[in-house]
A = this chain, B = another copy of it.
Amino acid sequence: MSETRRKWLYQVLEKSHNSTFGYVINISLMVLIFLNVVSIVAASEQSIHDKYAVFFRWMDLFALVVFTIEYFMRIWVSIERESKDERRPIMTRLRYMITPMALVDLLAILPSYLLFLGHDFLILRALRLIRVFKLTRYSRSMELLTTVFKQEAETILSAIFVLMILIVISASGIHIVEGKIQPEEFGSIPRALWWATVTLTTVGYGDVVPVTGIGRALGILIVITGVGMAALPAGILAAGFTSEVTRRREHFKTALMVWVEDGT
B209 touches A126 (CB 8 A): no
List B contacts of A59 (CB < 8 A). none
Q: Is the pair A238, B227 in contact by a Cβ cutoff of 8 Å? A: no
**Chain B hits for A204, CB < 8 A:** 198, 202-206
B176 touches A126 (CB 8 A): yes
Contact between chains at A233 and B237 (CB < 8 Å): no
C-alpha gap A30/B103 in the complex (Å): 32
Asked if residues B241 and A129 are in contact (CB atoms below 8 Å), the reply is: no
Is A236 a contact of B227 with CB atoms below 8 Å? no
CB of A91 closer than 8 Å to a CB of B = no
Q: List 26 A-B contacts (CB under 8 A).
A: A40-B189, A41-B190, A42-B190, A44-B175, A44-B189, A123-B176, A132-B165, A133-B165, A135-B161, A141-B158, A145-B162, A156-B228, A194-B219, A202-B230, A203-B203, A203-B227, A205-B209, A227-B230, A228-B231, A228-B232, A229-B234, A231-B238, A235-B238, A235-B241, A239-B239, A239-B242
> Which A residues are closer than 8 A to B by beta carbons?
37, 40-42, 44-46, 48, 122-123, 126, 129, 132-133, 135, 139-142, 144-145, 154-165, 167-169, 171-173, 175-176, 179, 187-191, 193-194, 197-199, 201-207, 209, 216, 219-220, 223-225, 227-243, 245-246
